[in-house]
Amino acid sequence: MARRAGRAARAVAARAPAGRARHLAARRQRPGVSPDRQAAGRPDAAAGAFGARQPQPGLPLRRPALSRKLLIALRPGRASRDAIQACQDQWTWPEGTWVTPPYCLHLTLACCHATREAEEVLHAALAGVPFQPFRLRLHEVAAWRGKRWPAVFLAQPNHGLDQLRHDVRHALLLAGFPVWREKASWRPHVTLGYDARGARCSAAPPTVDWPVREFFLIHSHDGLHDVLHRYATAPGGLILPSQAPHRTESFISASALQRLQGARWAQPDLFR
């Protein structure tokens, strides 16, 4: 009996390569397989039953090697930024905390990756976002657990902010850009510092009144923010996109930048 079972198993194993060959031959007959892949017997991942898919701007099958990390975000004006920094000064930061420098303070609306060529498509999509000015209020601080242990300044619920976030993300998706998803517990905030495990706020945080009249497209890299485009509202509510990119280092003096580049203000990737 054992000998018969062994012979049967060997017969099945001998037929397996022939079955695999027939399977690959059948797959080569299917539509949507490029000629250069027929020899390997693999279907074209970018093709289907109706032929090859047309490429979409901003939505590659894989992230391009030269893509850049982009933020669509709000940036506080001088008065709001000074008030947020006053809140930062109320915290006791443990050693190793990366405290957000003034020129990187922001509230994220959406973020994505795009190549330089696709950025023009992204810019055109954002220029069409309907936007009305609103007033934002920051009123509560928290230290979130997680990979980066961020300390955050939370925004009060705001219909104008919710509508702008929805419209921005919708415009990105329509233009073919994948948008990062937030957790269900995510709340709009300004990040005060990263790696802040054990940080404590020594006093009740100030209430920051933040008039929002514009949003920005920002290239985030190496702890720096380069503003690529600015989208402001005209009196009639129309978007006025700025075409002149500039670097945020111009907002602070050279001596201040040197201080920010010290040990406390090290410049890691903000989205490591």
Q: Are residues 135 and 15 in the same domain?
A: no
Per-residue model confidence as pLDDT tens for the chain (272 residues): 556 655 655 554 555 556 555 655 654 554 444 444 444 433 344 433 333 444 444 444 344 556 889 999 999 999 999 999 999 999 999 999 999 999 999 999 999 888 888 999 999 999 999 889 999 999 999 999 888 899 999 999 999 999 999 999 999 999 988 887 777 778 999 999 999 999 999 889 989 999 999 999 999 988 889 999 999 876 555 566 664 444 433 333 334 334 333 433 333 333 32
The CATH number given to whatever domain includes residue 144 is 3.90.1140.10
Q: How far apart are CA 262 and CA 213, in angstroms?
A: 33
Please indicate, yes or no, if residue 59 is contained in any of the structural domains: no
pTM: 0.65
Q: Are residues 72 and 44 in the same domain?
A: no
Q: Are residues 42 and 76 in the same domain?
A: no
Q: Are residues 48 and 176 in the same domain?
A: no
Residue 22 is predicted with a pLDDT of: 63
Q: Are residues 27 and 111 in the same domain?
A: no
37 CB-side CA count, 13 A: 14
Q: Are residues 40 and 100 in the same domain?
A: no
Q: How far apart are CA 228 and CA 32, in angstroms?
A: 40
Q: Are residues 30 and 158 in the same domain?
A: no
Please indicate, yes or no, if residue 158 is contained in any of the structural domains: yes
Q: Are residues 110 and 187 in the same domain?
A: yes
Please indicate, yes or no, if residue 266 is contained in any of the structural domains: no
Please indicate, yes or no, if residue 254 is contained in any of the structural domains: yes
Please indicate, yes or no, if residue 150 is contained in any of the structural domains: yes
As a dihedral over the C-alpha atoms of residue 20, residue 23, residue 28, residue 29, rounded to 10 degrees, the angle is 150
Residue 21 is predicted with a pLDDT of: 58
As for how many domains the chain has, the answer is 2
Residue 32 is predicted with a pLDDT of: 45
Please indicate, yes or no, if residue 269 is contained in any of the structural domains: no
Q: Are residues 45 and 103 in the same domain?
A: no
CA distances from 17 to 21, 39, 43, 54, 181 (A): 6, 17, 19, 36, 44
Please indicate, yes or no, if residue 270 is contained in any of the structural domains: no
Q: Are residues 186 and 238 in the same domain?
A: yes
Cβ proximity of 121 and 57 under 8 Å: yes
Q: Are residues 128 and 165 in the same domain?
A: yes
Q: Are residues 115 and 199 in the same domain?
A: yes
Residue 2 is predicted with a pLDDT of: 54
Classify 151 as helix, strand or coil: strand
Range of the domain at 24: 2-52
CB-CB neighbours of 22 under 10 Å: 10
Residue 222 is predicted with a pLDDT of: 83
Cβ proximity of 30 and 44 under 8 Å: no
